[in-house]
Amino acid sequence: MFSGKRKRKEIFDLLLYTLPALILVAMMMYIPFIMSGYYSLTRWNGIAKDAEFIGFENFKTVFSSGGEFGSALWFTIRYTIVFIIFSNVIALFLAVFLTKKFKLANVMRGVFFIPYIMSMTIVGFIWKFIFTQGFARLADLTGWGIWDLSWLGDPKLAFYAVAMVGVWQSLGFYIVLYIAGLQAVPKDVIEAATVDGANSRQTFFKVIFPLLGPSITTCIFMSLTNGLKVFDIILALTKGGPGSSTYSVTLQIYKEAFQNNNYGLGSAESIIYFLVVLILTQIVLKIFSRREVEL
C-alpha cells in the first residue's frame, strides 16, 4: 500500500518538475520546427493571413536555381573547415603551454577566455574598426603593405578576415576543454613513459595525445557546429559582402525569409540545411568516437 503511494508520488514529482521544461522546449524548438516544415511547402510572405500550399516547389527552386544557396553552402563548408583546423590546433598548443607551471598561467587563461564571453556582434564591430581604422594606422606607422590591404573589401581577403575573427573569439572555450583533458591524463602514465626513455615530444604524441580522444572529439564537434551556424559575426563584419562572397547559409536563410519576405523558400532552405548539419555531425561523431582511447 505504502509502496504504491510512494510510487505515485515519485511519478507526480517527476511530472511536476519535468513538464514545465518539456513545455518550454516544445514551444521554443519542436513546434517551430514542425511549423517550419509546413511553411516550406507553402508560398507565404509572413504577412498574409493564409499561406498558399505549393507542395515541394520551394525545394525544387533551391536545387534547380539555388545558386545563392549553393554558394552560401560552399562558403560555410570552407569556413567550417578552416575554423575547425585552426581553432583546435592553436587551442591545443596554447593549452599545453598554459598547463605549465608559471606565475601568470591563470591570468593568461583568463585573458584568452575573455573574448569568448563577449557578444559576437560586439566582437564583429570591434574587429571591423580594427580592419578599417586600426590597420590603416599601423600602415602609416610601419609602412608595411599588409596593413594597407582591403581586408573587408576584397572577396578573397574577406573570407580569411571572417575566419580569423571567428577563431580568435572562440579560442578560449576550446583552450579550457583541452586544459581539462590534459589535467585528466594520469601522472603515472607520463612518469612511466619518461622512465622508459621517451622524450617530451614522444611522450606528448605517443602517450598524452591519444588519451585526449574525448576532449578532441568534443572540441571537433563543438567547432563543427559553431562553424556551420556562423551568422552574427558575418552580419557585424561584412553583412555578407563584398557582393555575396561571405554569405553563410544561416545568413542566406535570414535574408530570404526576413528581408525578401519569402518565408516558404527560407523554411525550405532551413530544412535542407538541417539535414546537411545532421548528417555531417553524425559522421564526425562516429569517426572520432572510434579513435578514442579509454583512460
Mention every residue, 6+ apart, whose C-beta is less than 8 A from residue 84.
Answer: 220, 223, 224, 227
Query: What are the pLDDT digits (tens) for 85-142?
Result: 999 999 999 999 998 887 888 888 888 899 999 888 888 889 999 998 888 888 888 8
Cβ-contact 175, 89 below 8 angstroms: no
C-alpha cell at 277: 548539419
- The tally of CA atoms less than 13 A away on the side-chain side of residue 281 is 17
Residue 42, strand partner residues: 53
User: Omega before 242 cis (within 30°)?
Assistant: yes
The CATH class for the domain spanning 65-290 reads mainly alpha
Higher pLDDT, 49 or 223: 223
The radius of gyration of the chain's CA atoms, rounded to the nearest angstrom, is 24
pLDDT at 295 over 50: no
pLDDT at 206 over 70: yes
49-55 contacts at long range (C-beta below 8 A, 24 or more positions apart): 51/263, 51/264, 54/264
